[in-house]
């Protein structure tokens, strides 16, 4: 009986755990893919001093994806990255599939 009560408590508490990182739920897209989606907001992320390195840009993109996920977005259309020493990236966040 105690095992059953413990299993029920764990099942109930599992809904209270923090969600998986939001960046994993936001996909990159192009304008054609989001034509029937709802625009949510402009997002951006900062590379925190890593400049235009691959790791820096990846960190900035993940930061922007986190912001998009918190707003309920499912996709991001990225703005062009035009500078090799870029410190920030930006894009437009959309919600698709509603």
Tokens 């095992």, residue? Answer: 3
Can you give the pLDDT at residue 10? 32
Can you give the pLDDT at residue 84? 63
Can you give the pLDDT at residue 83? 62
Q: Is residue 14 part of a domain?
A: no
Q: What is the four-CA torsion angle of 78, 93, 44, 28, rounded to 10 degrees?
A: -40
Tokens 């960190």, residue? Answer: 59
3-class DSSP assignment, residue 40? strand
Q: Mean pLDDT, consecutive 10-residue segments, the chain of 98 residues?
A: 34 35 88 96 84 80 94 94 72 90
Instruction: Return the half-sphere exposure (C-beta side, CA atoms, 13 A cut-off) of residue 17.
Output: 9
5, exposed or middle or buried, with CB in 10 Å at 0-12, 13-18, 19+? exposed
Domain of 42: which CATH number? 3.30.110.70
Q: Is residue 15 part of a domain?
A: no
Can you give the pLDDT at residue 39? 97
Can you give the pLDDT at residue 11? 33
**Domain of 75, in residue numbers:** 22-95
Can you give the pLDDT at residue 55? 82
* Predicted TM-score of the model (pTM): 0.71
Give the total number of structural domains in the chain.
1
Rounded to an integer, what distance in angstroms lies between the CA atom of residue 54 and that of residue 52? 6
């Amino acid at each position: 009986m105690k095992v059953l009560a413990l299993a029920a408590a764990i099942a109930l508490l599992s809904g209270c755990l923090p969600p998986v990182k939001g960046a994993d739920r936001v996909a990159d897209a192009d304008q054609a893919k989001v034509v029937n989606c709802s625009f949510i907001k402009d997002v951006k992320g900062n590379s925190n001093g890593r400049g235009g390195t691959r790791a820096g840009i990846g960190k900035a993109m993940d930061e922007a994806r986190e912001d998009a996920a918190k707003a309920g977005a499912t996709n991001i259309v990225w703005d062009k990255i035009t500078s090799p020493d870029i410190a920030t990236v930006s894009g437009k966040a959309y919600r698709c599939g509603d």
